[in-house]
Structure 1
Amino acid sequence: MSKVKYYYDPDTLSYRKIEAKKSRKYRNLLFFVLGAALFGFLGLIFLLNTNLINTPRELSLQREVQNYELQFEILNKKMDQIENVLANIEDRDNNIYRLYFEANPIPEEQRKAGFGGVNRYKSLEGFNNSEIIIDASKRLDVIQKQMVIQSKSLDEIAKLAEEKEKLLAAIPAIQPVRNEDLKRMASGYGWRTDPFTKARKKHWGMDFTAPRGTPIFATGDGEVTRADNNSSGYGKHIRIDHGYGYMSLYAHLSKYNVTKGQKVKRGDLIGFVGNTGRSEAPHLHYEVWKDKERINPINFYYGSLSPQEFENMLKYATQENQSLD
């Protein structure tokens, strides 16, 4: 309750009550309302800029940010697992696959190199959680690059494997005449006595004695480059280009079972034993060439002979006897 105020009136020599004017009352009320509103507004601004109170929207945004942080934590754990799996694949790639196929290992710094030059993550800067987002983005970019490099490496390995498979199929690796069809292995590679001049002469292949008409088989995959009687001394003969620098030659045939330009596989019937050309008796003269040089065919029979059969052949092949051509 407001105090009643008085003033002294000298005319009446008495105290009189001071009556407040209505305009003053309204002015005081207006000042009070304005002051209260201003104080309330300033208080609201203060509270909104502190953590003492949050609006429903702010609470919703906080929950959303917490959810994003949880998702990034889960993402980082998944990236840890992916990095471990990739590291295992890369280790096997370098130390098993590439080693087996004689390919150079891919350096670690090349596999895990970052991205230089322009700042790829500038648009992610300036936010409360920029560090977390940029770190996750960098890891994802590196993982993506690792996967691209590993994919290309496996493509290279697959191509090398295919080439190696072709190489293994192309090498002249079997005996051109079956053991059961042979009378004997007459003469091997090296210095032998010429059957016509009786002079000591280098014999560039192996002679397999067999009856006329005995089947002769391609010793490796390739293409027939010659099947004719136009080479001195060989008579009817076949030459197969196996690729990779390998060529095989089959001489003194009675007839052909292939023609020039024909593709053949290892084990295909290509002709028959005969006695044509410079030959003393029915037999197959067989040669293997590597990079245009004649080499000992006995080193290539691992695909058709048992260890005992190979040992017996090696024994006969090293004897300095008389050749049949």
Structure 2
Amino acid sequence: MKNKLIVTLTTVRGSRQYSLGQVARYIVALVVVLFATSFFISNWFLVKTSDDLSDLEEDHEQLNDQYEMMLGTQNLYKNELDQLSVSLSRVASQRDKLQAENIRMGDKLYEGNNRLGELHATLGASLSGLEALLNVEPSSDMSKERLESLTMMANQRLFMLNSIPNGVPIQAIRISDGFGMRMHPIRKKRVMHHGIDYKANTGTPVYSTADGVVESAGNKHDGYGKQVVILHGFGFKSSYSHLNKIEVSSGEFVHKGQKIAESGNTGKSTGPHLHYEVRHLYSKINPAPFVAWNIANFDTIFSTVKSVKWASLKNLYPLNQTVQP
């Protein structure tokens, strides 16, 4: 009897006793130990996961603030440029009229000169703002010709920035992987990674990085999951993969900053994220210089991305217009 475990079960019909041998007792003891161990390990993982989640939420809030400053920068630039252009045109027009009046009305010359000085000061401040926006060398020239030259330069830059992918495509938690060779998380071998992976919760809005037309939208079952490919100007394309939801269709025209999809975890993916690529013709190129490209550092892209034959752009209208800031 000493090597047996007696188990008594009591019901409304009475009690019954069952005896378990030594092996059965070991099995029961092992189950209890395993249960207790799994309970403590689960609690430890829960506490650790909660701490990691808190850190991620804090990082996400910080990135939200940064993203709000980055997303749609070209629209902000364009609005500021439009306001400056209107102001400069009005000031220049008033100055020209006042100069004509000074010629015709000698008795009001003193008053006119004072007013002209004020207009020159306003014009100078506006031109300085436009120079700062374009990141060009400041000049004391406040002529109408300089205004026209700076305005043309700004319009040319905005045209390019609306035609070629630039800026960030998603309000991400962080960049989880960049362009280049890496250890593939599923295939477990070093392969080329042709884009940037943005870690983001499922359902995070995805935006087009330039004007264009949707070349394809759907699930090609090729590992990229649900994907949108947009054809832009000058032979560029951008692609957005592993999406959860697509909000555009093939052949549809889209504009820069337009919501085209929501991020997800479709295809061959180890977690919710956006895989973003930039292509020129049939070549996949590093998206990082294009993500950082804006109206202030406009010229940097031509020296950073050497695989594109930028020099031939000078022959294209409206880019072939003379600009001498």
TM range (shorter): 0.3 to 0.5
TM (norm. structure 2) is 0.42
Rg comparison, structure with higher value: 1
